[in-house]
Homo-oligomer: A and B are copies of this chain.
Amino acid sequence: MSNPSLANTLNHQVRLASRPVGLPTDANWQLTQETLAPPGPGGVLVKTLALSLDPAMRGWMNEGKSYIPPVGIGEVMRAGGVGVVVASDSPAFEIGSHVAGGLGVQAYCHIPAEQLRKSGLSRIDLRLGTLTQWLNVLGMPGMTAYFGLLQVGHPQPGQTVVVSGAAGAVGQTVGQLARIKGCRVVGIAGGQAKCDWVVKELGFDACIDYKAGQVKEGLRELCPKGVDVYFDNVGGDILDTVLTRITRGARIVICGAISQYNATSAVQGPKNYLSLLVNRARMEGMVVFDYADRYPQAIAELAGYLKDGRMISREDVVAGGVQAFPATLLKLFSGENFGKLVLKVADE
């Protein structure tokens, strides 16, 4: 290890202790600590500065086939994060350089040489965006928004785009990007404060407060020509309601279904799916990793919007280190977070 100050440093980790039924509880987690080992030949040691908390994490905790394998019992919980290289035997990662990647819920992440490529660890340029923006607009949520909206949703100028979870990490970028591309944009979010922010700060044309229970009426009033693209982060009743308002040839991007992730009974299927038939419409799933080759192009475009002020980025940063992970994660499912939920792990 080329950094003597790390000798005898403890690494704190949050591991999956058991698979949750419904909302995760403390019993599903195990906090461990171990002494840091120096990186082996070609390896890199990253100090975690901040972690991304994502609804998809709930799915990774379940057993069974999905788009990536589940987190194993006893393993460090999977998480994307940003950090700084504190020890390195790799010429690609100098000590002091900032990186993003799958660091896991731990204070330090050691990536051996043979996993460097697969891990997707990459250097980040803080001139393009702040550390937390690299977990938001310039990170996975931004990539998901960019490719989901443009490559699956195919919005055309003048069309109406509706996005649920509008004040969340993916939703905020979907809506702003749709606006920049010349669409009418209507958000769906929980609570008046979020809706106000979505309209006043993000520049959406309108936003429907689903907690007020008037989604159907809101869509009728605010999308008089119907919904051409629906970017769905929530599933459940909201998906079903939007299905009643789609236009002929509409595209529904299935990005997530946060309303269903903690369901202990069967997932609620969209009972209005035959609207797809009547309207010759399409419902299509997307997984951001498929577009990894094109992240640089998306990052460049989105960083440009941040720089010229056409796009803003809001993060809800919670302090507390990795120990605060179990409690902080729950904010996602109560809808408590406002903007991209980030766990601050350490100062640089």
Which residues of chain A have a CB within 8 Å of any CB of chain B? 65-67, 235, 240, 254-257, 260, 266-287, 290
Contacts and interface: CB of A to CB of B under 8 A. Distances in A.
A239 to B, nearest CB: 9
A275 B268 CA distance: 13
Given A268-B271, A270-B270, A287 B278 contact: yes
B276 A280 contact: no
Q: Among the interface residues A235, A277, A287, which one has the most CB atoms of the partner chain B within 10 A? A: A277
As for how many copies of this chain the complex holds, the number is 2
Contacts of A271: 266-269
15 contacts: A254-B277, A255-B277, A266-B271, A267-B271, A267-B274, A268-B269, A269-B269, A269-B272, A273-B283, A280-B284, A280-B287, A281-B284, A281-B285, A282-B285, A283-B284
Chain A binding surface, main DSSP class: loop
A66 B280 CA distance: 11
A269 B285 CA distance: 17
A276 B270 contact: no
B286 A290 contact: no
B287 A260 contact: no
Nearest to A65: B278
B269 A240 contact: yes
A245 B74 CA distance: 30
Contact of A269 (B65, B66, B270, B280): B270
B277 A256 contact: yes
A40 to B, nearest CB: 35
A254 B282 CA distance: 9
A167 B9 CA distance: 69
Nearest to A281: B285
A283 B280 contact: no
Contact of A278 (B235, B279, B285): B285
Contact of A284 (B267, B274, B276): B276
A273 B276 contact: no
A281 B285 CA distance: 6
Contacts of A277: 67, 254-257, 285-287
Contact of A283 (B66, B260, B268, B276): B276
Given A273-B283, A283-B283, A284-B283, A66 B268 contact: no
Contacts of A283: 273, 276, 282-284
A330 to B, nearest CB: 21
Q: Among the interface residues A268, A275, A284, A287, which one has the most CB atoms of the partner chain B within 10 A? A: A284
A224 to B, nearest CB: 15
Nearest to A275: B285
Given A268-B269, A270-B269, A272-B269, A67 B284 contact: no
Given A260-B274, A269-B270, A276-B283, 10 more contacts: A67-B279, A254-B274, A254-B277, A257-B277, A267-B274, A269-B271, A270-B273, A276-B285, A277-B286, A281-B285
Nearest to A284: B282
A162 to B, nearest CB: 18
Instruction: Kindly list the 8 A-B residue pairs having the minimum CB-CB distance in the complex, ordered from nearest.
Output: A269-B269, A277-B285, A276-B285, A269-B271, A282-B284, A269-B270, A283-B283, A254-B277
Contacts of A267: 271-274
